[in-house]
A and B are shown apart, each in its own frame.
Chain A
Amino acid sequence: MFVRPFTVRRRGTRGPSSRGCRMSPNGSNPREAVFRSAFNPLSGRERARGAVRRLLGAVRAAPGAVSSFGRSFPSPPLGPLSFPFVAHHLPDLDDGPDLPLPRTVRGRVLLAAAGAPVIALLLVALWLTGGLDDAKAVQFKTAEPGKAVQNKLLKATLHEASVGADPDLGGYRLEVRAELESLADEPVPASQLNTLFKVDFGRKDLKAETMRVRLVRLPDTELGDLQPKMPEEVVLVWTLAEGDPADDKIKTAEETFGEDFLAEPDDVSAQLAEVDKAEITVTGAKFEPGFTDPAKRWWTDDKTAGVYTLPLEKG
């Protein structure tokens, strides 16, 4: 048979085997057989058998073997003709530092199967203990009445607290006489001060609702904006209602604007008769845009700045 020497390929064309090939029964071009027989001692079928043998050998090989492939594979004749075998190797697991992990595929599968439940258990434990949120400050910062507590927005000094009937709205209210001084550089609407103060009576059935701020020097006026760096004597007023303060679920539209809205305010006199002090927490503040509103405003950052325990004057 005439064997064509391997000539320089013309630019822009492919090799001779790509032009109008006829396929032989075992899937290869008869002309290819010429080259194959010249460079590869094994036929196609024999090479496939070799590959399967290699795979089985890798799985069966003992852990810690340096190169399982090299072991079970019949070592090829050395020399330039051996390069086709190297090209068919599976990737070598040997590079990289020596880790105490199983070398074999089966070993790794077993490790994963054993480790997954452990990791799942750890995740459950993490979730049960509160997840990755900031840990709440455990150290209580107690503040004496009359001593100032400061956060990023303001300096607050709470003096005394009293509870009594609300002549304007019916129901009952908690009033705390305090001094506020804003440390910001711009006026702050009083509505943004609401979340910075939290009231706890220590009872599950008594809670304080939205806070309003009244000026002492103008008894009929509610505070509009807290002006910067100007101490104001104020009265913080909370309407009291029944219910669990931890029950934070957001009211639906029907609940907020339905019959509840115009209902009679709660009669909490029974609970009030039993409490004689209130714990008022002043939290930290941060100045940030809202969730949907890009305008920046003041929010609580849920960290405690100070806790006042104030005795309640009744009446």
Chain B
Amino acid sequence: MRAAPDPRPARRRSGRASTVLASAVLLALLLGAQALRIHDDEDRTAPIEASGAASEPVDARSFTVEVVDVAFARSVYDESGFSFGGDEADAGAADGAVEANGVWVVVTADITAAERTLERVEAELETGEGTTYGSSGVSMNALGSIGDAFSPGIPRRGAVVFELPPERLASPSVRFNVFSGLDRRLSGSALVDLELSGSELKKAVDGAEEAVAVPQSEIRKA
């Protein structure tokens, strides 16, 4: 037996309209949230990157980095440190200099940890035309594997060294990933644009010095 017709059809229709609207809004939010998800497992825990330019400190939350010098050279050598007693540092074995397979790029930067002590630095040079170069293991003084620690609030200046064919350089940037221990996941990373390109870059590369010393890292004024 059919019931009596609904006495309030208008209310039911507006109720349906609000349901449709609410569903549409929720659906849009869902799609937006889904688009923000990172699907690749590896990318999800990759270092979190901040970018900036060489003329200013770049804040990567767990550390800040400021590039103070970019040098091009045909060969590099390790500057030896002070001996006991604080005598004159000798200029290092310039005859132990290593010739580049291309050109050496020596980037000096001040790295200051923010809240926790960090120990390891991994650096990469992005040429700006699609290739990435890792830092060279040739120099013992360069920032790299086990070295001195970066304490919060205390800037430490060190160099990272790259070797590459000069024709690959277009508009280089250096990525610094500074972390503690062995785990790089979700660590801080800063991509610093060296602000060198075109004729300025070419002039710098052509004027590459014969030999550049790579100093040991040292703490700087806070």
Contact = CB atoms under 8 A, between A and B. Distances in A.
Given A186-B131, A224-B137, A230 B101 contact: yes
Given A227-B133, A294-B42, A232 B138 contact: no
A221 B1 CA distance: 94
B137 A230 contact: no
A228 B169 CA distance: 12
Contacts of A225: 134, 137
B148 interface: no
Nearest to B162: A227
Contacts of B164: 227, 230
A187 B134 contact: yes
B191 to A, nearest CB: 15
Contacts of B165: 229-230
Contacts of B163: 227, 230
Contacts of B40: 294
A185 interface: yes
Given A224-B137, A229-B165, A229-B168, A217 B99 contact: yes
Contact of B98 (A218, A232, A296): A218
A184 to B, nearest CB: 8
Contacts of A295: 42
Interface string A207-233: 000000000011001001101111110
A51 B1 CA distance: 43
B160 to A, nearest CB: 14
A232 B124 CA distance: 19
Chain A: number of interface residues, binned into ranges: 10 to 19
Interface in B123-171: 124, 130-134, 137-138, 163-165, 168
Contacts of B137: 221, 224-225
B42 A186 contact: no
A185 B128 CA distance: 11
A228 B131 contact: yes
B152 to A, nearest CB: 30
Contact-size category for B: 20 to 34
B131 A229 contact: yes
A20 B205 CA distance: 103
Interface in A1-58: 11
A221 B138 contact: yes
A294 B41 contact: yes
A185 B101 contact: no
A185 B130 contact: yes
Interface in A171-207: 185-187
Contacts of B41: 294
A76 to B, nearest CB: 41
Contacts of A187: 124, 132-134
Interface in A148-177: none
A142 B112 CA distance: 55
A225 B132 CA distance: 12
Nearest to A10: B1
Contacts of B130: 185
Contact of B101 (A11, A186, A232, A296): A232
Contact of A228 (B99, B101, B133, B138): B133
A13 to B, nearest CB: 12
Nearest to A296: B42
B102 interface: yes
B97 to A, nearest CB: 12
B132 A185 contact: yes
A245 B132 CA distance: 37
B217 to A, nearest CB: 20
Of the candidates A187, A221, A227, A230, the one having the most CB atoms from chain B within 10 angstroms of its own CB is A227
Nearest to A223: B137
B168 A217 contact: no
Q: Nearest 9 pairs between A and B by C-beta?
A: A187-B134, A224-B137, A228-B131, A294-B41, A225-B134, A186-B132, A185-B131, A294-B42, A227-B133
Interface of B: 1, 40-42, 98-99, 101-102, 124, 130-134, 137-138, 163-165, 168
7 contacts: A11-B1, A187-B124, A225-B134, A225-B137, A227-B163, A230-B102, A294-B40
Interface of A: 11, 185-187, 217-218, 221, 224-225, 227-232, 294-296
